[in-house]
């Protein structure tokens, strides 16, 4: 079964550094998302992306965050200047069409640790 793949599985960075989290969505999917989960807490929406532009973003997704689909397969989340509170599990997801007409498929996440 096709799956969403994320790299790296764990990223450790120092406060103030830039990080890029990478995702390869399922190949025929058109809608892409980033969610995050702070340890032991709920899964929170960050951003959705369709047709090469952001379609929706949360208040968490401020100017320090950006997303890009640099080629036909990758989808990236960049955090320009990481803060301690950015430490979380970041999940990429994709869907064939809009939710709820098709389900969200999540990757296994990147654990980001900011020291």
Partner 1 sequence: QQQVKQSPQSLIVQKGGISIINCAYENTAFDYFPWYQQFPGKGPALLIAIRPDVSEKKEGRFTISFNKSAKQFSLHIMDSQPGDSATYFCAAPGSYNTDKLIFGTGTRLQVFP
What 3-state class would DSSP assign to 86? helix
Binds partner 1 by CB under 8 A, chosen from 11, 13, 58, 66: 58
Q: Among 48, 82, 87, 94, which residue sits at the site for partner 1 (rule: CB under 8 A)?
A: 48
- Phi then psi for residue 3, to 5 deg, are -145, 160
Which one of 11-19, 50-58, 64-72, 76-84 is the stretch in contact with partner 1 (CB under 8 A)? 50-58
- Binding to partner 1 in span 84-103, by CB under 8 A: 91, 93, 95, 98-100, 103
The answer for residues whose C-beta is within 8 angstroms of residue 28's C-beta and 6 or more apart is 96
Determine, following the binding rule CB under 8 A, whether residue 42 of this chain makes contact with partner 1: yes
Q: How far is it, in rounded angstroms, from Cα 84 to Cα 96? A: 34
Task: Give the nearest distance from C-beta 63 to partner 1 in angstroms.
Answer: 20
Question: Residue 44 belongs to what H/E stretch?
Answer: strand 43-50
Give the separation between CA 98 and CA 30, rounded to whole angstroms: 9
Binding flag, residue 45, partner 1 (CB under 8 A): yes
Shortest Cβ 40–partner 1 spacing (Å): 9
Instruction: Answer for the pair 11, 110: CB distance below 8 angstroms, yes or no.
Output: yes
Residues that bind partner 1 (CB under 8 A): 4, 31, 33, 41-45, 48, 50, 55-56, 58, 91, 93, 95, 98-100, 103-109
């Amino acid at each position: 079964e096709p799956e969403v793949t994320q790299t790296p599985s764990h990223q450790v960075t120092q406060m103030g550094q830039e990080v890029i989290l990478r995702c390869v969505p399922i190949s025929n999917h058109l809608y892409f998302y980033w969610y995050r989960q702070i340890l032991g807490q709920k899964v929170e929406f960050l951003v959705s992306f369709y047709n090469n532009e952001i379609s929706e973003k949360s208040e968490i997704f401020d100017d320090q965050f950006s997303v890009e689909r640099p080629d036909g397969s990758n989808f990236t989340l960049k955090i320009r200047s990481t803060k301690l509170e950015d430490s979380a599990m970041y999940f990429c997801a994709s869907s064939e069409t809009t939710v709820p007409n098709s389900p969200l498929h999540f990757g296994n996440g990147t654990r980001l640790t900011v020291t």
